[in-house]
Amino acid sequence: MGLADILIKFGLILIIFVISLVMAMYSTYAERKIAAFFQDRIGPNRAGPWGILQPLADGGKMFLKEEIIPTNATPFLFIVGPSLAILTACIGSAVIPWGQKMTIGGHIVDLQVTDINVGVLYIFGVVSLGVYGVMIGGWASNNKYSLLGAIRAASQNISYEISMGLSIIALLMLTGTLSLREIAEQQHSWHWNVLRQPLGFILFIVCAFAETNRTPFDLPECETELVGGYHTEYSSMKLGFYLFAEYINMFISSAVMATLYWGGYNYPGMDWMNGLLGTTWGPLFGVAIFFIKICLFIFFFMWVRWTIPRFRYDQLMDLGWKILIPLAIANIVLTGIGSTLLTHFGF
Amino acid sequence: MSTFYFIAFLSIFFSILVISAKNPVHSILYLILTFFTFTVHYILMNAQFLAIVNFIVYMGAILVLFLYTLMLINLNKESEPVKPFMVKFAGVFGGGILIIALVASLKSIGISDPVVLKNPDLGLVKNLGKVLFNEFLLPFEVSSILLLSAMVGAVLLATKDPKAA
């Protein structure tokens, strides 16, 4: 690996980091605008034209607010909580293939930070680590509402991780690889996995909602019962990090869903388009397609949030353990039978 | 090799902190760090699959459950049980015997020959799966039945007695 390659890798990491943060920033703006649209309001429209500078104003406000660490809190862990939340949110993007390999001035640039051969499991590990930020923050606040929020988050994450893992297993049985790059390449042009795994995709998206703590699964921060849930005691940018981590998680899980099930950067007629645009602009067009898919998923997250009310806690547990897990196991069995029959009769 | 010694030092350091921390929640947090150093050990040995599974199962699931249970229990200074003298004595006695055994084993210490694997990629998913489902198929299936029976037992214990209800 020469110096140029290392520089390119470094630049790619920087670009992905900035894109994740900007996407998360403008997701907050989009959320407020979409909520306004759904409720027949106007939404933020004061900062800049159409309120487009609103996220900057929000960020500035968060930074300038007074920082409070409660007297009874554990100070070190109180700070570790939100730091861990934002850290786990940001490292998930390392294994996502953003586009095909492209050529810039003789260099072949791989639009993926690292292609480890257990990429799917890496994503899964990062997701399972994400709950520690919430749990440590909620416990360190030394507040009953925070603790209840943290405990809810822990049990919810564990319950939905199981069905998420099981729904991925059915997909892996078809792809035969754990590398996200290979999974993306198998879905060339229109051979998207969602056509082969419709039930698996529905299970996965429900679990993704639960893992990112989005409505209707936002019980850990349910304001009608728990004041503010795990972040009741937080103020200033530490609160901002918790809220921000949720939007980054939403962006990353949309990217994962698009890669695993909706073809990633592939689209019908991509060979023709690549021939037309060449090896630099063709892959970039694929990246644009990928981001359109991600934005559609983020819109779907918001659409659901402003449409469906929150679950009751027992309903949440029933859905996770009594409906999703049996469905996921049935999906695995059906996938096994289906793929065996297909290879046996040689279709 | 120096990386190995550094990580090994961290593992031992954090595991000592696990047992010496006063607060049980801090203990669990140190245990998480200990398991994280184990993950790094696996990566150093090129066993990527084991590393990531250790990461998901131990750090991501089992310790979350530990933390969850500890947070549910009210662990205050007042509610801490006072241990009788005999229990403390038995603890010290047992620990002493363990130290004697460890020190005695130092006598026969020697630098072992490093094991050279025939296939350095043995730890990758593909090879591990082939080994598990060919050579070690029976133990693998038997252990899965063991886990299943443990799960059924847990469910049985957790369900209320229908006669009592």
Q: Is the CB of A147 inside 8 Å of chain B's CB atoms?
A: yes
Task: Tell whether the torsion through CA atoms of A325, A327, A330 and A332 is positive or negative.
Answer: negative
The DSSP-derived string for A187-239 is T-TT--HHHH-HHHHHHHHHHHHHHTT-TTS-GGG-HHHHTTGGGTT--HHHH
Is A302 in contact with A30 (CB distance < 8 Å)? yes
Whose tokens are 């416990």? That residue is: A139
CA dist list (Å): B43 to A128, A178, B4: 19, 17, 11
Overall size of chain B counted in residues: 165
Our CA-based measurement puts residue A154 at a distance from the nearest CA of chain B, in whole angstroms, of 7
Is A88 in contact with A172 (CB distance < 8 Å)? no
| Interface probe, candidates B56, B63, B66, chain A, greatest A C-beta count within 10 A | B56
Is B140 in contact with B132 (CB distance < 8 Å)? yes
Q: Is the CB of B32 inside 8 Å of chain A's CB atoms?
A: yes
pLDDT (tens, 9 = 90+) of chain B, 165 residues, equals: 688 888 888 899 999 998 888 888 888 889 988 998 998 888 888 778 888 888 888 888 888 888 888 877 766 666 666 777 888 889 899 999 999 998 888 877 777 666 666 666 666 777 888 888 888 889 989 999 999 999 899 888 888 766 655
Quote the DSSP letter at residue A311: P
Kindly give the residue spans of alpha helices, DSSP state H, lying in B58-124: 63-72, 85-105
Phi-psi region of A115 (alpha: psi -120 to 50; beta: other; left: phi over 0): beta
Compute φ and ψ for A104, nearest 5 degrees: -125, 110
Is A218 in contact with A63 (CB distance < 8 Å)? no
Our CA-based measurement puts residue B15 at a distance from the nearest CA of chain A, in whole angstroms, of 19
| Nearest-10 Cα torsion for A236, A144, B61, A314 | -110
Q: Which structural domains are found in chain B, ordered by start?
A: 2-76+118-158 (1.20.120.1200)
Contacts of B72 (CB under 8 A, 6+ apart): A151
Nearest to B63 by CA among B42, B40, B34: B34
Which ipTM was obtained for this model? 0.78
Please give the pLDDT value at position B93.
Answer: 92
Kindly give the parts of chain A with pLDDT less than 70: 1, 105, 346-347
Which stretches of A6-121 are assigned E, i.e. beta strand?
102-104, 107-109
Compute φ and ψ for A114, nearest 5 degrees: -150, 140
Query: What average pLDDT does chain A have?
Result: 84
Q: Is the CB of B64 inside 8 Å of chain A's CB atoms?
A: yes
Please give the pLDDT value at position B74.
Answer: 65
Report residue A198 as tokens: 């419709």
Please give the pLDDT value at position B116.
Answer: 67
Q: Is the CB of A117 inside 8 Å of chain B's CB atoms?
A: yes
